[in-house]
Amino acid sequence: MTAPIPPVVQAFLESLLTEQGLSPRTLEAYQRDLSLLTAFADSIHKPLDQLTESDLVAFAGWAGSRGYRISTLARILSAVRSFYRFLFIRRWIEQNPAAFLELPRRDRKLPPVLSTEEVVALLESIPTHTPLGIRDRALFELLYATGMRVSELIGITIDDIDFETATLMCHGKGGKYRRLPIGQVALTWLRRYISESRPILLHRRRHQFLFVNRLGKPLSRVGVWKRLKYHARMAGIETRMFPHRLRHTFATHLLEGGADLRVVQTLLGHASLQTTEMYTHVAVDRLRQATRQHPLRRMIRRKSHEVDTLPQSAEDPPYRPPNED
């Protein structure tokens, strides 16, 4: 039997829904994380609004001993901090016991990205002599050109596209919208898909969703993933492929091309610049690898080798590096 949700937690969840417009899945995650806090509070016989800073530190240790990964534990404690910030702002508590609650440090894995050559190989490997092939070419051209999330991609409608301005209205997380530019290549394939393929795939069905499957129904997330995996395999891309990888690639290629970080943040729809900053590490690593092939670097290496192989005269003292104090 599911334990009842405490009134203070219920009020917090309702505020997340009405004031921030979070999705049902995100609300479920908050509720699940706070249920752990509720269980801990019950075990020490204290209501949630009377827990102290010491209690929350003990809770962090208690939650950590349950075998959660660092990323999961950080998410749980982040939910706890948001919860008590809400209670404090509403003046339901006099002091915020979670104000100095630290999150465990976690190493962010750098997202894998495709090279420009791999992107070209992927897109050009898609056969475009069938309605599904034209749809897939338009689909993945648009995904790479905009960096949208796959959930945003499958939610696009015909009315969201403005061919005159070469932009589309993207429905992002939390009910937020952003207008994205569409590259000329993606726009060309979109026109062809809408005029040639989509009417055939619809089978007389009528709805406004842009991308449809072979039955004329809106394309699903799984459908996008399966088609991308198939075309990547046909292109000879051996690494694991998923739609979000094209989003990572889009962001990294923009930064490598000199785009401003805040512009990339806006295009990706990130609420925090910190989220976007992880792509700078990827871009720097790739740029560092590229500079190793720079002609000047190769010339310096060759000259250095020539100097090392020159014979020394008997009068030349052996070289010793200076002491570094």
149 is annotated as an active-site residue: yes
244 is annotated as an active-site residue: yes
226 is annotated as an active-site residue: no
293 burial (CB, 10 Å; 0-12 / 13-18 / 19+) is exposed
* Marked catalytic residue, from 75, 81, 248, 270: 270
Crossing angle for the helix pair 273-291 and 261-268, to the nearest 10 degrees: 120
Distance (Å, rounded) from C-alpha 13 to C-alpha 178? 26
Q: How many CA atoms lie less than 13 Å away from 141 in the CB half-sphere?
A: 24
253 is annotated as an active-site residue: no
Provide φ and ψ at 167, rounded to 5°: -135, 165
207 is annotated as an active-site residue: no
Give the list of residues 6+ apart from residue 192 with CB closer than 8 angstroms, or none: 134, 138
Give the list of residues 6+ apart from residue 180 with CB closer than 8 angstroms, or none: 146, 148, 167, 168, 170, 267
Distance (Å, rounded) from C-alpha 40 to C-alpha 18? 28
* Marked catalytic residue, from 81, 135, 137, 149: 149
8-state DSSP, 244? H
* Marked catalytic residue, from 217, 229, 244, 286: 244
* Marked catalytic residue, from 84, 144, 193, 279: 279
- Which strand ranges, in their side-by-side order, compose the sheet holding 177-181? 161-162, 167-171, 177-181
Go through the chain and tell me how many residues it has. 325
8-state DSSP, 181? E
* Marked catalytic residue, from 171, 173, 229, 281: 173
Distance (Å, rounded) from C-alpha 48 to C-alpha 35? 11
270 is annotated as an active-site residue: yes
Residues with a known catalytic role: 149, 173, 244, 247, 270, 279
